[in-house]
Chain A
């Protein structure tokens, strides 16, 4: 069975600086999708960035980028120029290509604090 591990329960970053959130996963599949979701306090979860496993190029979305290491099964999220609005729970998620339900497998989350 696939698993997703986020080993950092909480991270803190100074506003305008850079922070990296870690995520590792375990799977026997060769093709899959990886995602980072953000959940602000009492708000709905939104997709931050996604990566398709067959693509070697790391995905980027404005200040958010990933470091996808397929062999190491690692998928970290880098947030550059951190802003107060980035404070949230961040969840790493996996979706196997063979799953007909397209359900997501999540990690336990990392709470990001942004210091002004």
Chain B
């Protein structure tokens, strides 16, 4: 099966600009997660979609971040306006059913490296 696809793989933008990251989960995976790793630090949870609904968005840092998953397929994460501290690697992961997710059986994408200058 095709894996989780994220693009772009890298993005360099100026402070104040807008960037949209995209994640295409494995087809049929209802659960989609966004995580972020700020340089050298731990990977932190941002939010969890079940189909098109936000199940948990407790990790979203502030209202400059907007995540959507229209139609329960791909998801986008928009940062507007971007700040320097938003730099990091943004990971997406998907899982077919929560039972599988329960055991940590997520499929991760390769991440998008965002650099805000």
Contact = CB atoms under 8 A, between A and B. Distances in A.
Interface residues of B, number: 32
A93 B41 contact: no
B28 interface: no
Interface stretch (B68-76, B77-85, B101-109): B101-109
B104 A45 contact: no
Given A33-B103, A100-B55, A46 B42 contact: no
Contacts, number: 65
A106 B55 CA distance: 20
B96 interface: no
Interface string B45-84: 1001000000110010000000000000000000000000
Interface string A83-111: 00000000101010000111111111100
11 contacts: A9-B40, A44-B4, A47-B105, A50-B103, A100-B56, A101-B48, A102-B98, A103-B48, A106-B44, A108-B41, A109-B43
Given A44-B109, A104-B106, A108-B42, 16 more contacts: A4-B42, A9-B40, A42-B110, A44-B107, A45-B93, A47-B106, A100-B56, A101-B48, A101-B56, A102-B48, A102-B95, A102-B101, A102-B102, A103-B56, A104-B104, A109-B42
